[in-house]
Amino acid sequence: MLSAIFFLIILGFSYAFGSICSAVIVCSLCKLPDPRVEGSKNPGATNVLRISGKKYAAVVLLADVLKGLIPVVLAKMFGLSPMSVGLIGFAAVIGHAYPLFFDFKGGKGVATMFGVLLGMSFMLGLVCFVLWFLIALISRYSSLAAIITFLAAPIFAIGYNPNFSSFSPILLASLFVVYRHKNNFERLQNGTESKIAF
């Protein structure tokens, strides 16, 4: 009973921590355009890159990664099972997408999901990030890179944890991030998706 309550407390913390909208806070503090109403209207690092530049996008990216990394690392420190750790990471991604403190209108969850994967396994997160970066560099489409990367992430996760105990939450979180790109997928098909410049 106590372990279940403890798990729920960390789960709630993870969602609340993920709900801190880094893009909105950074842009507000630095008197930059609101990413919710400018560019793609997505409060994430890619949109901040488009409307405010690399320096601010890097800050948002780091903050969003930490939103997924810190709850997962804490859960591992407390000795929770891989399944529980994965669910706690998923809660952070949901918090980023549907932030409690920002009218439940958040980003796609890409950077936060990278943080989750890094926390679960540094090599798993690194492999996924390298894949995303290479696809984005070649195609100039951040969304395409995210879609391909997170379709592949559950497969990579099998190598990280062959007994499949963390496979289900990683699969759910990855598919959730892909689902959040449904509008981008339509724009990619129509040839109207915005490209990024490194």
Percentage of the chain lying above the pLDDT 90 cut = 56
Q: Is position 127 within any domain? A: yes
Q: Is position 31 within any domain? A: yes
Q: Is the pLDDT assigned to residue 102 strictly greater than 90?
A: no
Measured CA to CA, the distance from residue 68 to residue 85 in angstroms comes to: 11
Q: Is the pLDDT assigned to residue 150 strictly greater than 90?
A: yes
Q: Is position 39 within any domain? A: yes
- What pLDDT was estimated at residue 51? 87
Q: Considering its fold, how many domains does the chain have in total?
A: 1
pLDDT tens-digit series, residues 109-120? 999 999 999 999
CB atoms within 10 A of CB 151: 13
Give the domain extent around 136: 2-190
Residue type, 78: F
Measured CA to CA, the distance from residue 49 to residue 194 in angstroms comes to: 12
Mean pLDDT of 129-153: 94
Q: Is the pLDDT assigned to residue 64 strictly greater than 80?
A: yes
Q: Is the pLDDT assigned to residue 163 strictly greater than 80?
A: no
Percentage of the chain lying above the pLDDT 70 cut = 95
pLDDT tens-digit series, residues 6-31? 889 999 999 999 999 999 999 989 88
- What pLDDT was estimated at residue 14? 96
Which one has a higher pLDDT value, 76 or 193? Answer: 76
Q: Is position 197 within any domain? A: no
pLDDT band at 176 (very low <50, low <70, confident <90, very high): very high
Which ranges of 30-181 would DSSP assign to H, the alpha helix? 45-52, 54-77, 82-97, 110-120, 122-139, 142-160, 167-179
- What pLDDT was estimated at residue 175? 95
Q: Is position 12 within any domain? A: yes
Helix orientation angle between 122-139 and 110-120, rounded to the nearest 10 degrees? 150
Q: Is position 195 within any domain? A: no
Q: Is position 198 within any domain? A: no
Residues in contact with 65: Cβ distance below 8 Å, sequence separation at least 6, in sequence order: 111, 112, 114, 115, 118
Q: Is position 196 within any domain? A: no
